[in-house]
Amino acid sequence: MSALVLLLSLASHAGAVQDYQPGLPEDPENPAIMAVNNSVSLAYLNSNLDYVEPSDEQAFNTGTSYLDYERASLNGLRLAVNWMSPAYSDLYVHADWDWASGRANYTGFDQKNNPVTGDSGATIQDFGLKIGKGIVTGRHWMLTPYGTFGGRHWTRVIGEGTSGDFNETYQHLYAGFGGLIQYAPSEGWVVTGDATLARTFYAWINDAPDGLSHAPLGGSPLIKLGLEADRRITDRLHAFIGFDYMYFRYGQSDVYLVPNSNPQLVVMEPASETNMYNVTVGARFAY
């Protein structure tokens, strides 16, 4: 028995010696954080849409605070790739793509100010790119400021399933800056916080039946906040869960003539606000 205890003690000691020790001057990056930052991941995405067109009481007095709004819980996926290299001063590159689709509950008003409710289809795609530099701030910590660029495409099917359904599409790009803060409380866990402040540009709407073709919607601030917990399962395989939030606005479009209307009608796209609440559950492969 004593020999067995001695062998186990020696094996444990040998393993401890071989374990990577974060915080050493010659290699200060925490290995758990570096594993997360050098990985590919695929996640289930539950994306909750909160879209509203606020009421303009002078031009469109509906008697409420809104012209219309949509609420939706969409299902999809998120694909992401991370890369960070100590050989290049902890240069950090991240790319991600989201796709989510489903039905939204629509509440609004017709031209006679009568309440209208129904369902609409929604398919949303988002992409993002981040380039930054990791900064080791402690034995278990890393900060990574970055610049970011991305975009969004939303296909909105009005009156889905009816004879008069039609598509509206919204699109914008954005650019800005942000930062990650990562903490590894142990070898198997990494918690990542993420914050982005950006501005949208090249925002437009297509609504062919109403005569809107790439109608500009201006630019607005865009805010993204995220929190993720990553758990190492094996040396390469990780599981994670995350939550993130995004906010942006669209401005009011110019006034356009409605095609083939008699008498001649005009239309414009009102200003709107969008809040997105996303939950992800997925797997990560550290390469």
The length of the chain is 287
In a domain, 18, yes or no: no
How many domains does the structure of the chain reveal?
A: 1
Give the per-residue pLDDT at 14: 37
Q: How far apart are CA 57 and CA 124, in angstroms?
A: 30
Token code pair at residue 254? 């110019």
Q: Is 280 helix (H, G, I), strand (E, B) or coil?
A: strand
Q: Is 163 helix (H, G, I), strand (E, B) or coil?
A: coil
In a domain, 196, yes or no: yes
Residue 272 identity:
S
The kind and range of the H/E element at 183 are: strand 166-186
Q: How far apart are CA 67 and CA 37, in angstroms?
A: 44
Q: Bin 179: left if φ > 0, else alpha if -120 < ψ < 50, else beta.
A: beta
Token code pair at residue 40? 């590919």
In a domain, 241, yes or no: yes
Give the per-residue pLDDT at 11: 36
- 133 backbone dihedrals φ, ψ, rounded to 5°: -140, 130
Q: Is 10 helix (H, G, I), strand (E, B) or coil?
A: helix
In a domain, 87, yes or no: yes
In a domain, 90, yes or no: yes
Which domain CATH number covers 187? Answer: 2.40.128.100
In a domain, 12, yes or no: no
Give the per-residue pLDDT at 192: 98
Per-residue pLDDT in tens (0 to 9) along the chain, 287 residues: 444 343 334 333 333 333 434 444 456 899 999 999 999 999 999 999 999 988 765 556 666 767 888 999 999 999 999 999 999 999 999 999 999 999 999 887 776 777 788 888 999 999 999 999 999 999 999 999 999 999 999 999 877 767 667 789 999 999 999 999 999 999 999 999 999 999 999 999 999 888 899 999 999 999 999 999 999 999 999 999 999 999 999 999 998 888 888 888 888 888 999 999 999 999 999 99
205 has which bridge partners?
170, 215
Q: What DSSP letter does each residue of 55-104 carry, written as one string? A: --TTT---SSSEEEEEEEEEEEEEEEEEEEEGGGTTEEEEEEEEEEEEEE
Q: How far apart are CA 260 and CA 138, in angstroms?
A: 67
The kind and range of the H/E element at 271 are: none
**Count of CB atoms situated within 10 Å of the CB of 61:** 10
Q: How far apart are CA 84 and CA 286, in angstroms?
A: 12
Q: Is 253 helix (H, G, I), strand (E, B) or coil?
A: coil
Q: DSSP E strands: which ranges in 9-65?
A: 39-54
Give the per-residue pLDDT at 144: 98
In a domain, 11, yes or no: no
- Segments forming the whole domain that contains residue 187: 32-59+69-281
Provide the sign of the torsion angle of the four alpha carbons 213, 110, 115, 159, taken in this order.
negative
In a domain, 20, yes or no: no
CB distance 50 to 73 below 8 Å: no
